[in-house]
Structures are given as C-alpha cells and as structure tokens.
Amino acid sequence: MPLEEYKRKRRFDETPEPAGKVETKSTHRFVVQKHDATRLHYDFRLEMEGVLKSWAVPKGPSLDPADKRLAMQVEDHPVSYFDFEGNIPEGNYGAGTVMVWDLGTWQPLSPVPVEGKYVPGTEAEAVAMLAKGDLKFRLHGKKLNGDFAIVKMKGRRPGSKGNEWLLIKKHDDFEVEGYDIDQYDESVLTKRSLSEIAGDSGSKEWTSRPATGRGKLKAAWLANAVAKLDKKRAEEKKAEKDSKKLAPKKKRT
C-alpha cells in the first residue's frame, strides 16, 4: 500500500504534518526541505505516481557536478507534504524544524543523451528509470536548476539497508563550481532562516490541524509555474486525442 509506512511512523493528532492520500494525478513538482532532526539533512522529493518519492540527503544537493551527494531513499510522502514548513514536536518521528528550502517543477529526461545533451523524456521513461535505479531529470526551481541524475548504488556497504543513492548534478549552464549550500539558509516560502522557523511560535507546531487547505500553493510564482505545466499537459493530451479522432477507425469484425 502506498504511504503505509509514512502513516505507520506518525501520530497525526500530535504532528502538524499532513496525513495525506495518494493523488490520482501527478503534476511534476519537486521540493527540497531542510530538516533539523537528530542530524541536519535535506529531504529531496519528486512528485511522481501520486506521491512524493523521497530521499534524505545528509549534505544537501549541490550544483557542482564534482559533488556526488549520498541520498538515502525513505518512505514515499503524500503530495500535500510539498509545502510543509514548521516544527515537528519532540517525541515524534522526525522531530525538529522543517524549512521549505526550494520548490519548483521537474521534467523527466530521456535516458539517452542526443549529441551529448539531455532532452526531455516521457513519464513512462521516468517511471522505468526510477525502477532501474538511474533517474535523470531537469529541475526548474528557485535555487536548483538544470539537469541531475539520482542513481542507486549497487554495492552494499556493511550495515547498509540497500537504500543508498547518489544525487549528481550534470554538466550544463547551471553548474556552480564549489557550490556551498550553507550560504542559502532561507525558506523559499517565507524567507525565514531555520532558526527563525524554530523560534517562531506562530509556525505549525501549535496548530496540529491547520484550518486552511493544505493543497493550496502558497507561492504565487509556483502556482503560475504549475498552472503552465498543467495547461501544457492538457494541450498535449488534447492533441493526442484529436490525432486519434482523425485516424481512420478500425473496422470491427
């Protein structure tokens, strides 16, 4: 069952995190959350197949192709987790402060580059690449942009759970040599630093069931980006339908 592990680990009467459900359709959004739990790490999440495919990245993503960032795959999260920012109370799973560090949309890339460059691929290719353990994608975020790959590590280290992947920036116009993630301690939603979110009594800890809908996109620029993406996908679907209409119907025998 999708999200079973996510739900099993949490008590929703105590944590402000969303309970969530599997969505029937996926837009291609991504989020990176900075999470000051037992150890500070970044959670990298791609919206796919109605959930957020999730990895915990101890050092955070990098725009330097020379950095291969260890990324531990964790349980799928509900799509409504996408804009969760606040404090998970002591004694709960993942207790600590969560910042929405980056948000945006992503595109699957075709597994085979054309003349050394990656080109947009299909949803089916993305699902297959993820299953194979080598997913290539392009990010359109506020902090992260350009082409990336997330690759499952084959050799198991002693004591590893077999959930280890590497998050790698590909060479393109968006690469930054010597990228230093610590320079960017600012929420893309609220512009707050991690310590500001931690010290903010108005953040989510004290409202375990927020009255406002969680599905709403807080950042207007993001809502626009997603609306554009939805429109493009709708147009593509319509074009596909129309071409089927024009094609001569098969005779039934």
C-alpha distances in Å from residue 181, one per residue of 10, 61, 62, 136, 140: 29, 8, 7, 22, 17
Candidate residues 34, 35, 77, 204; the one interacting with Mn ion per rule CB under 5 A: 35
Candidate residues 15, 18, 34, 43; the one interacting with Mn ion per rule CB under 5 A: 43
Q: What's at 235, amino acid-wise?
A: E
Identify the residue whose tokens are 């759970």.
161
* Position of minimal CB gap to Mn ion: 35
Binding-residue total with Mn ion (CB under 5 A):
2
Judged by CB under 5 A, does residue 53 bind Mn ion? no
Q: Residue 120 is encoded by which pair of tokens?
A: 């947009």
Judged by CB under 5 A, does residue 36 bind Mn ion? no
Judged by CB under 5 A, does residue 17 bind Mn ion? no
Nearest in space to 204 (alpha carbons), one of 14, 21, 29, 75: 14
Q: What's at 116, amino acid-wise?
A: G
Judged by CB under 5 A, does residue 147 bind Mn ion? no
Helix (H, G, I), strand (E, B) or coil at 125: helix
**Residue (52 or 129) nearer to Mn ion, CB:** 52
**Least Å from the CB of residue 41 to Mn ion:** 6
Judged by CB under 5 A, does residue 28 bind Mn ion? no
> Which residues lie near Mn ion (CB under 5 A)?
35, 43
